[in-house]
């Protein structure tokens, strides 16, 4: 491994170093030092704590080098502070999150509410709209209009359509027609993904999805009737066996689907069993969403929300299981959980995350848009059943960039950021937090100026993960996905 150069070799001796602003949290055997304004952090032993007092006044590197010290520990400690971002160099903050890759002007990820029809009756379905009684299918022509509005993009920023629902595979033949037409219009400059409950995903459909290079997400909460109880058919019978068949059909043709589950109070303690069982079927990517009280889940917080201590317990167990599982496997066999993976990236790689829900403000209206069945455009699919968040109808948009720039809906979503939420603005972990979903705040509180519903869990989970890193109980390479 290449040796990291010392600050004393990289900068001139007259360079001035000074401590950045920080707060200190007392732990059992060390102190957690955090700069809340940048997210820079470092674990400091009791024996090194005194060096912080010494460095409280600015010092030149030459002054530090002249200090008598045993084993050069002070110089080593200054290097640790420098690479952790806790000190300034000549008055400038050295902790800089890596620049975002240049983003296109227009959102290129479109969630298509391809139909509101679904063969399941999930108890918490956020897409369900009680005000709409008839079936609504999104016409393919509206999707082609999106393609025309976006124009041609570079291969680095390809337009992506996500077939969503309802259950999109109730319109499988229409999907085939749509994909064929878009391939003609955009050639390689388009990609596709589908989010499905899997119950209609036959071997033949799996082969088609493989041939067309679809990314496949399968929604399932368990591995047996008990754990998947909130996702029944309309006749109340279990759907789990068809969904498990879908996973097998995908794996057999060479698709590695991702699994999305919703953590609810009645089965959260089975989340680890879900990972164990589905990983044996070939699933490598998991994402456990927090429950959002909308759609069929409206006003069901008491039924489905999980107490902080319980979600902390299961999240830590899952983290440890994934770490240990991957430690015993080759890299190509590793599994990951999206939330955990993104948090480890944020804690250890000092960079912006590509995952739009982890950014502040989030990607709603900026990186993602949702196209409803009637052609209405929304900033995010989680807000797609609320009329006041409608941006415009696709048939009435001639200049998409101008429409988004003047949209009150998009503007509201973009004001949901750390700086505008008092509880977040004053939080020690505000720059390490990866829970910035504006729709979560809105659905729980009716306001964009409130923290995430899992705020108390997050403030306990972040230092707990840091503690595991400090103790060497978990390793970064075992927890970050590709």
**Domain map of the chain by residue range?**
7-93, 109-346
Per-residue confidence (pLDDT) for residue 102, from 0 to 100: 65
DSSP assignment of 402-446: HHHHT-HHHHHHHH-SGGG-HHHHT-TTTTT-----HHHHHHHHS
Per-residue confidence (pLDDT) for residue 97, from 0 to 100: 46
**Selecting from 3.30.200, 3.90.930, 3.40.50, 3.30.2320, what CATH number does the domain 7-93 have?**
3.90.930
Phi-psi region of 99 (alpha: psi -120 to 50; beta: other; left: phi over 0): beta
User: What fold characterizes domain 109-346?
Assistant: TIM Barrel (3.20.20)
Which pair of tokens denotes residue 369?
Answer: 């848009």
Measured at the CA of 135, the angle between CA 134 and CA 141, to 5 degrees, comes to 130
Q: How far apart are CA 252 and CA 113, in angstroms?
A: 28
The residues facing 392 across adjacent strands are: 377
Count CA within 13 A, CB hemisphere, residue 441.
24
The pLDDT tens digits along the chain (482 residues) read 456 689 998 899 999 999 988 999 999 889 999 999 889 999 999 999 999 999 999 999 999 988 876 567 899 999 999 989 899 999 888 655 444 556 778 999 999 999 999 999 999 999 999 889 899 999 999 999 999 999 877 667 899 999 999 999 999 999 999 999 999 999 889 999 999 999 999 999 999 999 999 999 999 999 999 999 999 999 999 999 999 999 999 999 999 999 999 999 988 999 999 999 999 999 999 999 999 999 999 999 999 999 999 999 999 999 999 999 999 999 999 999 999 999 999 999 866 678 889 999 999 999 999 999 999 999 999 999 899 999 999 999 999 999 999 999 999 999 999 999 999 999 999 999 999 999 999 999 999 999 999 999 999 999 999 999 999 999 999 998 76
Per-residue confidence (pLDDT) for residue 124, from 0 to 100: 95
Which pair of tokens denotes residue 321?
Answer: 């299981």
Per-residue confidence (pLDDT) for residue 355, from 0 to 100: 86
Per-residue confidence (pLDDT) for residue 326, from 0 to 100: 97
Per-residue confidence (pLDDT) for residue 95, from 0 to 100: 59
Q: How far apart are CA 446 and CA 461, in angstroms?
A: 26
CB neighbours of 119 closer than 8 A, spacing ≥ 6?
167, 170, 197, 199, 200, 233, 234
Whole-model pTM: value is 0.92
């Amino acid at each position: 491994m290449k040796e990291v150069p010392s600050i004393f070799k990289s900068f001139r001796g007259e360079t001035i170093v000074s401590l950045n602003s920080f707060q200190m949290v007392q732990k059992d055997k060390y102190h957690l030092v955090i700069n809340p304004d940048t997210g820079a952090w470092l674990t400091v032993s009791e024996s090194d704590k005194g060096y912080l007092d010494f460095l409280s006044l600015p010092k030149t590197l030459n002054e530090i080098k002249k200090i008598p010290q045993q084993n050069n520990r002070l110089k080593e400690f200054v290097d640790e502070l420098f690479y952790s971002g806790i000190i300034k160099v000549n008055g400038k903050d050295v902790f800089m999150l890596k620049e975002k890759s240049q983003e296109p002007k227009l959102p290129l990820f479109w969630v298509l509410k391809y139909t509101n029809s679904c063969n399941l009756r999930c108890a918490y379905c956020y897409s369900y709209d009680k005000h709409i009684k008839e079936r609504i299918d999104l016409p393919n022509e509206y999707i082609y209009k999106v393609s025309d509005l976006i124009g041609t993009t570079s291969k680095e920023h390809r337009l992506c359509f996500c077939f969503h629902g309802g259950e999109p595979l109730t319109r499988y033949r229409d999907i085939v027609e749509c994909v064929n037409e878009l391939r003609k219009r955009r050639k390689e400059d388009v990609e596709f993904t589908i989010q499905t409950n899997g119950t209609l995903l036959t071997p033949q459909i799996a082969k088609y999805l493989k041939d067309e290079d679809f990314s496949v997400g399968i929604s399932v909460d368990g591995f047996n009737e008990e754990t998947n109880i909130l996702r029944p058919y309309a006749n109340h019978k279990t759907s789990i066996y068809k969904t498990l068949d879908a996973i097998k059909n995908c794996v057999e043709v060479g698709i590695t689907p991702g699994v999305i589950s919703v953590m609810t109070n009645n089965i959260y303690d089975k989340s680890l069993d879900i990972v164990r069982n589905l990983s044996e079927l070939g699933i490598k990517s998991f994402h456990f969403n927090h429950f959002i009280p909308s759609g069929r889940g409206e006003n069901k917080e008491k039924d489905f929300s999980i107490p902080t201590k319980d979600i902390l317990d299961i999240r830590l167990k899952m983290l440890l299981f994934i770490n240990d599982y991957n430690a015993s496997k080759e890299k190509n066999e590793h599994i990951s959980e999206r939330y955990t993976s993104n948090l480890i990236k944020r804690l250890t790689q000092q960079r912006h995350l590509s995952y739009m829900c982890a950014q502040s403000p989030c990607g709603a209206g900026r990186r993602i848009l949702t196209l409803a069945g009637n052609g209405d455009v929304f900033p995010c699919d989680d807000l797609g059943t609320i009329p006041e968040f409608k941006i415009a109808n696709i048939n009435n948009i001639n200049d998409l960039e101008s429409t988004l720039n003047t949209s009150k809906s998009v503007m509201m979503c973009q004001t949901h950021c750390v700086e505008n939420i008092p509880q977040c603005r004053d939080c020690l972990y505000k720059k390490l937090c990866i829970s910035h979903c504006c729709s979560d705040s809105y659905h729980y509180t009716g306001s964009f100026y409130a923290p995430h519903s899992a705020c108390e869990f997050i403030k306990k989970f972040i230092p707990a993960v840091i503690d595991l890193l400090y103790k060497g109980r978990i390793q970064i390479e075992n927890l970050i996905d590709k």
